[in-house]
Amino acid sequence: MASMGRFTVGSHVWVEDADVAWIDGLVEEVHGDELIINCTSGKKVTANVSSVYPKDVEVKRCGVEDMTRLAYLHEPGVLRNLKSRYGMNEIYTYTGNILIAVNPFQRLPHLYNDHMMEMYKGAEFGELSPHPFAMADRAYRLMMNYGTSQAILVSGESGAGKTESTKMLMQYLAFMGGKVESDGRSVQQQVLESNPVLEAFGNAKTVRNNNSSRFGKFVELQFDQNGKISGAAIRTYLLERSRVCQISDPERNYHCFYMLCAAPPEDRERYKLGDASLFHYLNQSNCIKLDGMDDSSEYIATRRAMDIVGISSDEQDAIFRVVAAILHLGNVEFSEGSEADSSVPKDDKSQFHLRTAAELFMCDEKSLEESLCKRVMVTRGESIVRNLDSRAAALSRDALARMVYSRLFDWLVNKINTTIGQDPTSKLLIGVLDIYGFESFKTNSMFSRWSKKNIQKKRLIGVTSSLWTTKRFLISLRRNQGG
């Protein structure tokens, strides 16, 4: 907290502003713990010393690459530095061994090509501009030089770019640890191609982000003594199941639903699908198509990625059969039945979707209907069947859809892990955790469990899309870093 003695008439300061968060100015008068400040915007404000911070007048207009070099590591100082660099298209900044990334909201392919990876390969940390490749290279070098496993935490708010940053880390680690495989499918290829598969089933458009991960992901890369990737394991957390049945405008459901509705005609006919706008689980929002994203092409690309990670054609057909069944299930509406508080499919249209869902689930239509319209309770070894009204039947329908989708997602992850394969002999690991919220925990059980695997270091990447949340984010990351 600032104290009265820190400021005198003529001091350069930062003071809070309702419009732009912080504004700079000169202290014109000092009255106890109240300061009168003449701001560069031309207005005068009166502020308590507790909400005023000193301004470093000697900092470069272009900012600094490592914010530990700032004279004052307070919120306005941090934000000013990030804003200055962002204005020069410098989206990455260090704070010690933490990398802060500010979402540029545009594609920058020149920053992530093979030439850039070659530049960062073996370079001293801090020798080149801040970059995810530098973080990944440092983790890799520490692992190889000291024989200690590493962990990289990617965290930030929704829409900040965590998924893209994670991809860049994985791309570089695959570049460093890749090796030629005789069957044409290397471990590193399978790990990289698992991204589009999981994104198709776990990512969706939100208000802030067209490709937001609605789940957390931890990827453990295993290396042999020569530094080559010898195995991998993927763990996922906290899939947003509620999105399957309920979305808000202008968001979208999971990508796979729209992809399947835009699949080639023969696939859509097989699953009895039409335009995405015809399905209740999708048309609750007016956003059906995304600018710059061709769902038809994404469907083909996802099938190709499934081939690479080792998901067979029959398994792919089963996966999309379940996806289609969920869409049909969502179109089953209910009306009151002949008995009190009972329900039945509302009309022929609902009966068609129920029958199609049963066919795709490969179950009995009548049994499916009863599971939705009735509830079985077991008390003292006795089963009691109770009718559900139309509202309760709709809730039962949505619960089934959420459960099935969650099980499908878990099956996908397990299948990818099985096909990639793990190396039980590996003692060199690099883990990449992409999740929101873990940095706020008093005790981080993720890293606690990993400590049993001889992890000595943690690399952290902070990702933010909002400059105004950066200080809180930095403090929380540094707290978990443990100094």
| Known binding-site positions | 156-163
Neighbours of 183 (CB within 10 A): 5
Neighbours of 40 (CB within 10 A): 10
* 439 in active site: yes
* 482 in active site: no
75-82: long-range contacts (C-beta < 8 A, 24 or more apart)? 75/22, 75/470, 75/471, 76/14, 76/21, 76/22, 76/24, 77/14, 77/53, 78/470, 78/471, 78/474, 79/21, 79/22, 79/467, 79/468, 79/470, 79/471, 80/14, 80/22, 82/467, 82/470
Q: Strands, E, within 109-267: which ranges?
A: 149-156, 203-204, 212-213, 216-223, 229-237
Residues 6+ apart with CB under 8 A from 58: 71
CB-neighbour burial class of residue 154 (10 A; exposed 0-12, middle 13-18, buried 19+): buried
Neighbours of 2 (CB within 10 A): 18
* 437 in active site: yes
Distance between CA atoms of residues 263 and 320, nearest Å: 11
The one catalytic residue in 93, 149, 206, 213 is 213
Residues 6+ apart with CB under 8 A from 323: 256, 257, 260, 408
Rounded to a whole number of angstroms, the distance between the first and last alpha carbons of the chain is 22
The one catalytic residue in 81, 149, 155, 163 is 163
Do 385 and 360 meet the contact criterion of CB atoms below 8 Å apart? no
The one catalytic residue in 129, 158, 371, 387 is 158
The one catalytic residue in 63, 77, 159, 462 is 159
Binding residues for ATP are 156-163
* 158 in active site: yes
Is residue 52 helix, strand or coil?
strand
Write out the H or E segment, with its range, that includes residue 377.
strand 374-379
The one catalytic residue in 165, 212, 343, 444 is 212
* 213 in active site: yes
The structure tokens listed for 429 are 């690991």
Q: Crossing angle for the helix pair 162-177 and 132-146, nearest 10 degrees?
A: 40
The one catalytic residue in 209, 331, 464, 480 is 209
Backbone angles phi, psi at 93, to 5 degrees: -145, 140
The structure tokens listed for 295 are 């769902």
State which amino acid sits at residue 298.
E
In the numeric block, the tokens 């392919």 are attached to: 109
Distance between CA atoms of residues 34 and 49, nearest Å: 6
The one catalytic residue in 29, 50, 437, 454 is 437
The one catalytic residue in 75, 164, 199, 439 is 439
* 240 in active site: no
Q: Crossing angle for the helix pair 295-309 and 390-420, nearest 10 degrees?
A: 50
Q: Residues with catalytic annotation? A: 158-159, 163, 209, 212-213, 437, 439
